[in-house]
């Protein structure tokens, strides 16, 4: 499997994957690195690993469609079969997403769908987790679609929030888990243990059932309310279990 990376900053997740490939722990070939930041650590890591790299951004391509095509062209030119995002701070364009549908994966430093979406990246994610009072956070690997942090979830791993944690201490532990989870998940994708097409199609089937009314969300909510009123759902018990 030929991997194409997109990263905006340090590229530590990318480095963990490159190391796994070079050490024989992941049967894949890192073949290109793209960054929207000309000074990113990801580009320096690519140079050190002798991997072709490109700075493609609004500075090199002010027109959004042209940038989208340039990214797609670079990925196709290097024969990429799976696009791997690692801290890429830009939304991919429609041409790239369409061409690599169900073949773009991303890592997020929380347990999606919580603490995801616009504005939730980097330190802001961990600050939000701490502010919420949650005792568990983690890392998520998911497929990428047209929305931010929205595609089907492939894998997750929990990280405990410790007493006295700050955003930086929590980020350090989550990052270490991200590295291991990303490599392990890619290994399962390469081996065929994880079927990305099946994940994507399962989500599409669920969407169609919702649109057709086969999944009646209003009816589900009403049924849940009736169970709460009848005492079938014991909210006190639920609170004690959390």
Active-site positions? 108
Question: Contact 55/37 with Cβ under 8 angstroms?
Answer: yes
Give me the residues paired with residue 108 across strands: 140
User: How far is Cα 50 from Cα 19, in angstroms, rounded to an integer?
Assistant: 13
For 68-80, give one letter per residue: b (16+ CB within 10 A) or e: bebbbebbeebeb
Main-chain phi, psi angles of 148, to 5 degrees: -80, 130
Using alpha carbons, select from 23, 22, 28 the residue that is nearest to residue 191. Answer: 28
Number of C-beta neighbours around residue 120 at 10 A: 20
Question: Contact 35/8 with Cβ under 8 angstroms?
Answer: yes
Contacts of 186 (CB under 8 A, 6+ apart): 3, 17, 20, 26, 28, 82, 84, 105
């Amino acid at each position: 499997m030929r991997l194409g990376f997109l990263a905006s900053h340090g590229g530590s997740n990318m480095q963990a994957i490159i190391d796994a490939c070079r050490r024989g722990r992941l049967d894949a070939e890192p073949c290109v690195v793209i960054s929207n930041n000309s000074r990113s650590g990801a580009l320096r890591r690519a140079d050190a690993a002798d991997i072709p790299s490109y700075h493609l951004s609004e500075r090199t391509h002010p027109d959004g469609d042209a940038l989208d095509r340039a990214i797609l062209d670079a990925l196709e030119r290097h024969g990429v079969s799976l696009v791997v995002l690692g801290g890429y701070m830009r939304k991919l364009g429609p041409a790239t997403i369409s061409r690599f549908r169900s073949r773009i994966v991303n890592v997020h430093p929380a347990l999606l769908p919580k603490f995801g979406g616009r504005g939730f990246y980097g330190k802001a994610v961990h600050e939000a987790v701490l502010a919420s009072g949650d005792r568990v956070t983690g890392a998520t690997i998911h497929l990428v679609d047209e929305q931010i942090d929205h595609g089907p979830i492939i894998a997750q791993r929990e990280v405990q929030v410790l007493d006295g944690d700050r955003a930086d201490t929590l980020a350090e532990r989550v990052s270490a888990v991200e590295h291991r989870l990303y490599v392990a998940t890619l290994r399962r994708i390469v081996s065929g243990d994880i079927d990305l097409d099946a994940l994507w199609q399962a989500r599409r089937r669920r969407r169609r059932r919702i649109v057709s009314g086969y999944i009646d969300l209003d009816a589900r909510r009403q049924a849940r309310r009736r169970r709460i009123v009848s005492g079938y759902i014991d909210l006190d018990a639920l609170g004690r279990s959390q």
